[in-house]
Structure 1
Amino acid sequence: MDGEAQERFREFVESRSSALLRTAVLLSGGDRHAAEDLLQNALIKVAGRWNRIDEPEAYVRQILYRQQVSRWRLKWRRREVTVAEPPDTGATADDSAAEQRLVIRAALARLTARQRSVLVLRYFEDLPEAEVARILGCSVGTVRSTTHRSLARLRAVAPELAGLTVPEPMPGLSPLEVRP
């Protein structure tokens, strides 16, 4: 990679890393360390092909999804994730949104990796079913049935989502609301 390409890659990483890390955290079920590893591996792959990539963000996201799919296909044993409890202070609008994100992240962590991947792609990334099927290497019917079963399981394992109102900055989340 020449100096100019290296500088463009550096700018891309600086400008898009936080958004890509959020996606990786969702895909990894809230495990920030696993998400950082996932993103780092994806960026290493992109760096080697940087001069041949037309849309780097789409390419990185596809690598993230495929790596996560590979992880759940390997059926690695699920490790326990310990998380510090947030401080109990007076709630503000920002605290409420942060609390909702934690509840959603914890609920997603209770799903299988495949279920989580389908929901993240469909509702957090707002991708159409055909694109999700292409990324995950399955049929559109499989995406539909997995989405249906994933939402049903989410409602069963996370009753705390019932009545949860989704803040405006997270528009793709409304289908995850649990309705009686």
Structure 2
Amino acid sequence: MGNRKQARDEEFRGFVMSCWSRLMRMAYLLTGQQQAAEDLVQSSLERAYASWRTVSSADDPHAYVRRILINLHARRHRRGLKEFLSARDDASLGELGDGPARGDTMAQAEDRSMLLRALAQLPTRQREAVVLRYWEDLTETQAAAAMGCSVGTVKSNAAKGIAKLREVPGLMDTMMSGGRR
């Protein structure tokens, strides 16, 4: 019995190592705060561990855990714990991606900060749809499965979210220039 538990723990540990950074990035984009993202990922992984047999036997365990994360975020948001990006969280922006490309890294950090602030202003479902479709690069079908809704709902929320982001003064110019000023 102990060997099976140890093997399960090792399998779960390997899973966590393979998906931690993606889950953190997605959670940060959803919550807008580093600590809230860490809490969300931790809670999601706790639930995944508790039902690891089910999760590990799923067709796509990463999609299963992504769905857990989105459900937990939505549940917390419904309870009125809506989180917005604050100025003190700008220091953690560098932890989000693969790092800045060549060029003016200060301008890229400012651009990323502007984009994250705009993203944080979107309603929850629109933010989820935009993050899943454009940051996680999921298909509409995969995003719908993760969000627990129809493909049409994903399309609608993503389109509305992108439209609102386009209305943010200066954001489109920043994004179109690719972070180069």
Quickly name the TM-score band, shorter chain normalised.
0.7 to 0.9
* Contact 1:72/1:114 (8 A) holds in 2: no
* Contact 1:46/1:56 (8 A) holds in 2: no
> Which blocks of at least 5 consecutive residues in structure 1 are unaligned?
87-91, 168-180
Match of 1:143 among 146, 151, 154: 154
Q: Is the counterpart of residue 15 in structure 1 residue 18 in structure 2?
A: yes
Match of 2:112 among 72, 96, 101: 101
* Deviation per residue, 1:1-58 (Å, 9 max, x gap): 6112212222222332122101110111x21111111100111011112233134322
Q: Is the counterpart of residue 162 in structure 1 residue 172 in structure 2?
A: yes
Aligned partner of 2:163: which letter? A
Identity of aligned residues (%): 39
TM (norm. structure 1) is: 0.75
User: Which residue of structure 1 aligns with residue 88 of structure 2?
Assistant: 83
User: Which residue of structure 1 aligns with residue 94 of structure 2?
Assistant: none
Aligned residues: 161
**Structure 1 pair 13–94 and aligned structure 2 pair: CA distance change class (3 A):** farther
User: Which residue of structure 1 aligns with residue 95 of structure 2?
Assistant: none
> Which blocks of at least 5 consecutive residues in structure 2 are unaligned?
92-101
For the residue of structure 1 that corresponds to 2:51, the secondary structure is helix
Larger relative helix fraction: 2
* Contact 2:67/2:145 (8 A) holds in 1: no
Match of 1:4 among 4, 7, 15: 7
**Structure 1 pair 107–77 and aligned structure 2 pair: CA distance change class (3 A):** closer
* Contact 2:126/2:158 (8 A) holds in 1: yes
Aligned partner of 2:169: which letter? P
CA root-mean-square deviation: 2.6
